[in-house]
Structure 1
Amino acid sequence: MRNFTAILIPFLALSAQLTAQTKPATPADTSIKSKTLKEVVVESRPPVRMKGDTVEYNASQFKTKENAVVEDLLKKLPGVKVDQGGNITAQGETVGKILVDGKEFFGNDPAIATKNLPADMVDKIQVLDKMSDQEEFTGIDDGNKTKTINIVTKKDRKKGYFGNLSAGIGPDGKYEGGVNVNSFSGEQQFSVLFKANNVNKSGFSASELVRMLGANPELFNSLPSSAIAELSKMKGIHITSDDPAEKVQLARPTGLNNTQYGGVNYNNDWSDRLKLRSSYFYNRFTSANNYMYDRHYQLPDTAYNYLQQGRSLQENNNHRVNGSFDIKLDKYNSLKISPVFNSNTADLNSNRSYRSTSADGKQLLNEGTQQLNTHTTNNSISGDILYRHRFQKPGRTLSLTVTPQYLKLDNSSLNISQNHYLNLHQEDSINQQLTGHSESYSLNNNLVYTEQLSRHTALRLTEQFNVTKGDYEQIARNYNHADGNYNVTDSRYSDIYNNAITRNVADVSVAGNYKKLTYTAGLSLENSIQQANSAYRNYQLKDHYNTLLPHLYARYRFSRSRQLMLRYASQASLPGISQLRPIEDISDPLYTRKGNTQLRQAVNHALTIGYLSNNMYRRTFSNVQLRLSTIRQQFTDAYTIDSTGRQLIMPTNANGYYNGSLHGEYSFPVIANGSTLTLGTEVAYNQYPSYFNAISDMIRQWTITPDFDFSYYPVNALVINLRGNATWNNRHSEVNKAAGQQYWFFQYSLDFLVSLPWKMNAEAGLECYTTTGLNQSFNNTVSLLNMALTKDIGKTYALHIEARDLLNQNNSYSRIAKNGYIEDRQNIVLGRYYMISLICKIKKFKK
């Protein structure tokens, strides 16, 4: 047997032999007493095993540092990756949900659990594809799953409380501290969390950023990079970059950031008939940044430089309340109600100067200054009401989901700028106050009926009806020098309008499950109507679309450990109202944006083919995924540039969007002590059109990204982790050959964790970033050396001393490449700092 070895020890015979060898019997020894022991079982738990479709890791087999959190444990697991920004991938897919003993922890934001729960509470880590509520109810597998990690706590942690308190200080006012207390009692979970720091550790909740941006996509441009890093964790969110240097900015956020976040989480399963999930979460984030951006335009018909420098201060405050009541009414009926409340405020204050010059830098084309202050408040209330009915006939079900939502957005801005266009000998100025108010209501309904046609085949009929209506107001007022107030309405930038969208989707799908093959194939007919009306500016917009959207999901199991998956999906996207309205946005004086009333909907087609193999006995894991996608009538920007360097930017529809990637990785043990090596690579191709001054161009880009991850355990007291990845980027233009670029970007790290005598642990890490192939002044290597020492004081306290960026090399020099230009960037970043912290460990459990 591989997992258990039973050894029966014949103690009597062995005892007699040892006695005879070590102590001769005396004359008084007239008899030998004997006693037979019970059977002794020696259990050997494998580090990784398969339980159905779930990969389960035994946490005790993966050593972590003292006071480690779950994220540190995940980094040790073969087949699981945690990048510098905290994004988690498992089996090649992004993890979108973290559960604790099967229950949600602070909603759907994975980072809250992985960055705060202690690793020593974990018994097992389970990686699975979690079905949606609809899939779990109907039993029809259509591939609509979320890659999920379930944290199974140790049995002795299920009744009691645990957590820690920490407080740390350093020179120049640096601080970090927090409270994390968790109380588990059977099916009841209660957690309190609060943390604060000013050392660039983000507390943003990615799920709330999605809701915030859904109501106002324009807010994306004002988000700090650390918030974007958190946003990129969400499943279905793709933040693309033409340059790997931007990824470094996400991994090492720019600016000097101050964060406070915390909340309360309460879950309870009173019975199978009533289950509760609830949480409240708050975060506050401020960021101060000094920057200088040097942009070089290389267009087919013109070339010039644009330089801007300035200072910005941002502050975001977010409140979120989540709840879920799952009620089983009787044997055939159930009801699930999931309300959500979200409130967000964002403030931005910036001062900058800018100028444009000829390509050789000798002629000044324009120059200007700008002061911009904005304030935005966004409140939303929504909830899912899910009713499920199961008929007596097996496989026959009916479910209805109703989702009402209310959004309210208020914003105000003050834009003061002075601009001088030297070649035209012209000057203009802006001193304008812009106020906006919007309220929108939506109601989404989803009706699903399933019928079992035969033993292996089922029918699913779906009807979706969604309606959204909103009233919007934007008023621009110029400064009145006569009375010193902003009371002169500027109709050019003002608008009062309403918008309505109705969407109806009818879908017919057939699902099958035959031996090793599972599939779902269907066809949707989507009817959508979008219309807007403005009496203020006297325009009407109305578009009507009928679109056929096929979809297919299939999975073939060669064995329990090997499977092949295919997923094809198509999706229609309507243009946003800000992209349609014929009104100018002059928040950046040299880059004016204007809507396009002729914009049409876009349709995306995506195909994924994946092969997965897990050999738990050999501890090998392999994953290969091919992804292909194309977008018809995609929204893209068309630029018109005049002789002064001013740009007018309008969205337009374009074809020619093609994306493809081939990703593969293989993980295997290298030494019998648990050490593992993971090798991977990805080859990607992107193609997209570009428009400048009515000249159509095509951008093509190849990217190759090899990577490795080596976890080495030479002795029990030492853990070594070596990681690295490289990116080769080849980007070229079809029309403008001079705009092409080729370069390598390297990111690699080495970490040591050592257990020392006297209850001490030491850790050291070196992170390096190297860029080649750019201008000589921007080809550099940044090395970040970090060290820490932890000393346990009794069973309750620990003293932690750390030093970050000991070499003081952290900088923000980078280069990005976009349509028609390359830009060299420099931002202020957090440099070397030291911190000493006292940690109090709280732990009390019932035996």
Structure 2
Amino acid sequence: MIKTDLFRKAGLLALLCFTGVLSMQAQQKSVAIEGVVLDSLKQPLVGATVILMHARDSLLAGFGIADSNGAFRLEVGDPDRYFLQITYVGYGTFVRELSIIDGQSDIDFGAIVLSLDGYDLSEVTVKDSFIPIIIKKDTIEYNAAAFPTPEGSVVEDLLKRLPGIEVEPDGTIKAHGETVENVLVDGKPFFDDDPKIASQNIPADLVDRVQVFDQKSDFTEFTGIDDGQEERTINLQIKDGQNKGLFGTLNAGYGPEERYKGSANVNRFTDQMQLSLLANANNINEQPFSFEDYLQFMGGFEELMNGGNVDFSQFPSNLLDNSGISDAYSGGLNFNYDFNPRTALRSNYFFNSSDNNTLSSSTLENALPEGFFVTDAENEEWTKLANHRFRAELKHQVDDSQDLKFKGNISLFNNENAFSGFSSSQSESGLLGNSSQRSSLGYLDGWSWKTDLTYRKKFSHKGRFLLLHGLVDGQQADSQSDLANINTLFPDPETNLIDSITQRQLLYSDGLSMEGGIDYVEPIGESNYLKVDASTVWIHNMRDKTFSDLLGNGQYEINEELSNQFDRNLNQNTFGTALKTVRKKWNASLGVDFQQTRLESLPLNGSPAVTGTFYSWLPNARLEYNMKPSGNLGFRYDTRIQAPSAEQLQPVVDNIDPLNIFQGNPDLRPERISSIDLNYSNFNQFYLRSVFLGVRGQFYQDRIVQASTIDDQFRRIIQPINSRNEWLMEGFYDFTTPVKGVDLKFGFNGSLRYQHSNFLVNDALDLFDIWEFDHTVRLQNKVKEMWDVGVGYKVHLTKTAFDVNEALDLPFLDQTAFTDLYWYSKKGSWALNANLKYQVYSEARARPGQAFVYLDAGVRKSFFKKQFSLYIKGTNLLDEEVIFQRESYGNQLQETLKNRFGRVILFGAIYKIRAFGK
């Protein structure tokens, strides 16, 4: 306890010191430089670029863009000689030298008139004239040279310095309030499934321009008819002369207790080809897997989905955090090749592997119709995961009016798992109901594949198009689990009943789906289009469970009651039409689909087949309105049908946990889900201010929920059923702006979520409401020449309220304060960093709160013209050896403590490979 208190006090002191550095920067007296940019007719030149550069080396000191009145305002804090440069497309360049001294008053240039000849001072020489930000129609382009990064930086470090772009702690990129879905390199995909691979591996010093835009859908790109389907995209334009040749980075580090990290990033670019190799190996808990990666291990099987919600109990205990002790390895290859102007190949291969051992201690509170019971558990889990995936896209333009696109991917996955644990359940008064000693050893092997072919045709009649597409995909998985469970029931304090299970469980599952469709577009007048489409989908899933009990002679005997083979067939036929209107400032569509869904469940144990045919009208509507100069308003309404999964339908007991038994329900009906989205975004390039607001509503009919039957010993039987209707409402917001008069940038973002759901236990229905509020506020300096400092605060509030049993109502509050500090020497040969995070979790009912402090720091020195660097890196320096998690599932609240690496220190070297023009 003394050690923990000292660490927390040290962490809080460091947080105050970091905040003090930021405060001192903010308190520096700034000198304002103002003026108005006009043309020869005295009209404002809106959007003229104004930059301030140091006279000694022409490095950027500040910049701005003239507003709707032609006015600009720059602020500078350090005394020095500067150049003020003003540019506007089609006009000359205005350059003026000025000196800032201590006690300098504000400078007002008044009206500055630009003509075709412009202003120029012969005695002034600017080494490198550049424009930091250019607005090109729907694209915002940043000049990377205007935002210098320290030696050894990657693209992620560059993006953090660009106005309007934010990088979250987990690497997620947000540009002008919206999440970036794609990162391109010279217009080509770079490991197209994860933007972070490009942002965290490509060196920043290779980038010439960063372009932010909304990438249109294939339909819009081909037809020119905006369908409102867009993805926020960043394109990295590589510098001339450095987009050909060999480049990359090698990194190796080693530390006490045989801790290591090694990585390599090697790229070979030519006019026709992009070839990139990535590799990583470490034993310091840097995970190569994401949530999406693990879905690949299960082949995308629907058994991971329960009523549209992921069943996290089937995931490794360390997947969504950095817990346990891990070794991790990954490698990949990205290959893009342009055969000719009409034919191009885009492909990549990636391999991930990890070996993890996690210890956990958890408390799970389960709601009952009256009161609740608590399950305490101590578990140890070992998991080894491996995944290979390959993706390719081949596009061929037959002629100017038609093209073909083929996409294919294949994934191979393996999961080995060993588990042991002890749990006990008791009433809220402390009366013991059961205990369980569990152990298991198992594996899962499988693969999945997908092929997609699209043909697009433009007819000679303007606006008339035909699109044909077909898709086939399949999955297969084979798993085995050997269980040994000893369960003890306590009907009363004087009695205990012991039940043991020693069993081998085999599960084989496969699936095949085929889809085909046609879209036809016919113009109506100048700006209206009628779209008619038809599609059919056929999906087959098979699950074969063979459960065998271990006999006294060491042989296994099949348990017929628990074994079952089950087939599910799903066929959906959809016919739709939509009227689209495309205008200069807005586009809209209104349509309706008619869908026939046939669901067939085939238990192969003598039970009769269960079939059902459902007919649905599915309306949809969209509106996109462009608000000049940089605002956008969007509205979307959709309806869809969600069919139950094969696992939800399979009417056989799954007793992998005998105290929590799951059994499917072949009588389930599909859910109908209606969604409404409304959002507004605006990026003001004059003031570098971004705003994003969004509202989403969803309404569920025939909602599939988990009904529980719980006995006096707290044994639970879970079965999915169609329940009453449910709905949820969500609101999102994101705002970033410079702070006038000081060198600071302020931002906040968050969300508010309300969910109305059903809760069914022992045939007693209760309704509950979940309120969730997330809010994060950040403050950081704008000019990051030598210092990059940021502080922030995040709060997460959750409240669950029950209609009938109000005694179960539970609010709790989680808070995080964080700060990041980076310092770079003027010549860039030295770099220091420190990152601090302080987390506080409130009390939840009778359980005490928790608090943790995490501190990371490092130092780097560059040599030999910055091509070689040495570094020392420390992670978790305050030696916090546990991770705390709190999760609410409506009628359940779980708190978990997991082990994690303590203090890790690495001594390492970085070498930059540079061989351009070859």
TM value normalised by structure 1: 0.89
Cα distance change of structure 1 residues 690 and 715 upon mapping to structure 2, 3 Å threshold: closer
For residues 494 and 597 of structure 1, the distance between their equivalents in structure 2, rounded to whole angstroms, comes to: 16
CA contact (8 A) 2:302 2:647 kept: no
Of residues 735, 739, 759, the one that matches 1:690 is 759
Q: Does 1:532 align with 2:613?
A: no
Match of 2:352 in 1: 283
SS across alignment from 2:634: strand
Match of 1:719 in 2: 788
Instruction: Return the offset for 1:654.
Output: 2.3
Match of 2:530 in 1: 459
For residues 800 and 376 of structure 2, the distance between their equivalents in structure 1, rounded to whole angstroms, comes to: 23
Of residues 141, 144, 151, the one that matches 2:236 is 151
For residues 668 and 284 of structure 2, the distance between their equivalents in structure 1, rounded to whole angstroms, comes to: 44
CA contact (8 A) 1:208 1:320 kept: no
Following superposition of structure 1 onto structure 2, how do residues 321-340 of structure 1 map, counting pairs within 5 Å? Answer: 321-340=390-409
Cα distance change of structure 1 residues 123 and 381 upon mapping to structure 2, 3 Å threshold: same
Deviations 1:440-496 (A, max 9, x none): 2221112111111111101111111111224432211111222x122x111121112
Following superposition of structure 1 onto structure 2, how do residues 701-780 of structure 1 map, counting pairs within 5 Å? Answer: 701-713=770-782, 716-756=785-825, 759-774=829-844, 778-780=848-850
For residues 583 and 782 of structure 2, the distance between their equivalents in structure 1, rounded to whole angstroms, comes to: 44
Match of 1:242 in 2: none
Aligned amino acid, residue 359 of structure 1: E
Of residues 882, 894, 901, the one that matches 1:811 is 882
SS across alignment from 2:399: coil
Instruction: Return the offset for 1:308.
Output: 1.3
Deviations 1:21-49 (A, max 9, x none): xxxxxxxxxxxxxxx98997787655444
Following superposition of structure 1 onto structure 2, how do residues 258-297 of structure 1 map, counting pairs within 5 Å? Answer: 258-297=327-366
Instruction: Return the offset for 1:305.
Output: 2.2
Deviations 1:589-637 (A, max 9, x none): 1100011122111111111111111211221111211222221122211
Match of 1:478 in 2: 549
Deviations 1:368-405 (A, max 9, x none): 21111221112112111111121111111111111111
Q: Does 1:74 align with 2:171?
A: no
For residues 171 and 606 of structure 2, the distance between their equivalents in structure 1, rounded to whole angstroms, comes to: 47
For residues 652 and 359 of structure 1, the distance between their equivalents in structure 2, rounded to whole angstroms, comes to: 28
Match of 1:222 in 2: 314
TM value normalised by structure 2: 0.83
Instruction: Return the offset for 1:824.
Output: 2.6
Gaps of 5+ in 2: 1-44, 50-85, 97-120, 305-310
Following superposition of structure 1 onto structure 2, how do residues 346-495 of structure 1 map, counting pairs within 5 Å? Answer: 346-361=415-430, 363-423=431-491, 425-482=496-553, 484-486=554-556, 488-495=557-564
Instruction: Return the offset for 1:106.
Output: 1.6
How large is the RMSD of aligned CA atoms in angstroms?
2.5
Match of 2:23 in 1: none
Match of 2:61 in 1: none
For residues 772 and 123 of structure 2, the distance between their equivalents in structure 1, rounded to whole angstroms, comes to: 63
Cα distance change of structure 1 residues 546 and 80 upon mapping to structure 2, 3 Å threshold: farther
Cα distance change of structure 1 residues 225 and 372 upon mapping to structure 2, 3 Å threshold: closer
SS across alignment from 1:493: coil
For residues 823 and 878 of structure 2, the distance between their equivalents in structure 1, rounded to whole angstroms, comes to: 22
Following superposition of structure 1 onto structure 2, how do residues 476-515 of structure 1 map, counting pairs within 5 Å? Answer: 476-482=547-553, 484-486=554-556, 488-515=557-584
Instruction: Return the offset for 1:810.
Output: 4.9
Instruction: Return the offset for 1:547.
Output: 1.1
Following superposition of structure 1 onto structure 2, how do residues 637-676 of structure 1 map, counting pairs within 5 Å? Answer: 637-670=706-739, 675-676=744-745
Q: Does 1:179 align with 2:248?
A: no
Cα distance change of structure 1 residues 76 and 401 upon mapping to structure 2, 3 Å threshold: same
Cα distance change of structure 1 residues 777 and 407 upon mapping to structure 2, 3 Å threshold: closer
CA contact (8 A) 1:704 1:728 kept: yes
CA contact (8 A) 1:333 1:389 kept: yes
Deviations 1:514-565 (A, max 9, x none): 2322112211111111112233242312121111111111111221312211
Match of 1:301 in 2: 370
Aligned amino acid, residue 294 of structure 1: T
Aligned amino acid, residue 260 of structure 1: Y
With 572-581 and 617-626 compared, the bigger mean Cα shift is at: 617-626
Instruction: Return the offset for 1:155.
Output: 2.5
CA contact (8 A) 1:7 1:42 kept: no
Of residues 175, 181, 190, the one that matches 1:90 is 175
Aligned amino acid, residue 832 of structure 2: A
For residues 387 and 752 of structure 1, the distance between their equivalents in structure 2, rounded to whole angstroms, comes to: 52
CA contact (8 A) 2:661 2:717 kept: yes
Match of 1:166 in 2: 251
CA contact (8 A) 2:177 2:690 kept: no
Cα distance change of structure 1 residues 749 and 225 upon mapping to structure 2, 3 Å threshold: farther
CA contact (8 A) 1:206 1:227 kept: yes
For residues 827 and 453 of structure 1, the distance between their equivalents in structure 2, rounded to whole angstroms, comes to: 62
With 697-706 and 194-203 compared, the bigger mean Cα shift is at: 697-706
Cα distance change of structure 1 residues 575 and 92 upon mapping to structure 2, 3 Å threshold: farther
Of residues 388, 403, 410, the one that matches 1:319 is 388
Cα distance change of structure 1 residues 226 and 326 upon mapping to structure 2, 3 Å threshold: farther
Deviations 1:258-300 (A, max 9, x none): 2100111110223221111011110002211011112233423
Q: Does 1:576 align with 2:645?
A: yes
For residues 591 and 532 of structure 2, the distance between their equivalents in structure 1, rounded to whole angstroms, comes to: 10
For residues 686 and 846 of structure 1, the distance between their equivalents in structure 2, rounded to whole angstroms, comes to: 58
Aligned length: 796
Following superposition of structure 1 onto structure 2, how do residues 196-275 of structure 1 map, counting pairs within 5 Å? Answer: 196-204=281-289, 207-213=292-298, 214-215=300-301, 217-218=303-304, 220-224=312-316, 227-228=319-320, 250=321, 253-275=322-344
Aligned amino acid, residue 279 of structure 2: F
CA contact (8 A) 1:742 1:773 kept: no
